[in-house]
Amino acid sequence: MSTGKIIGIIVVLAVLGGAYWYWSTNAGPWGAAGTYQGAAMSTSSPSDASDTAIDQDAAAIDAQLKAAAGDSTTVSSSLNDKPVTQ
Q: Does residue 59 lie in a domain region?
A: yes
Q: Does residue 27 lie in a domain region?
A: no
- Walk along the chain (86 residues) and give the pLDDT tens digit of each residue: 788 899 999 999 999 999 888 888 876 655 555 555 666 656 555 577 788 888 999 999 999 988 888 777 777 777 777 777 87
- Gap between the Cα atoms of 67 and 62, Å rounded: 9
Q: Does residue 68 lie in a domain region?
A: yes
Q: Does residue 32 lie in a domain region?
A: no
The domain in which residue 64 lies consists of 51-77
Q: Which residues of 25-49 are buried (b: 16+ CB within 10 A; e: fewer)?
A: eeeeeeeeeeeeeeeeeeeeeeeee
Q: Does residue 22 lie in a domain region?
A: no
Total number of domains constituting the chain: 1
Q: Does residue 71 lie in a domain region?
A: yes
The model carries a pTM of: 0.35
- H/E run at residue 3: helix 3-25
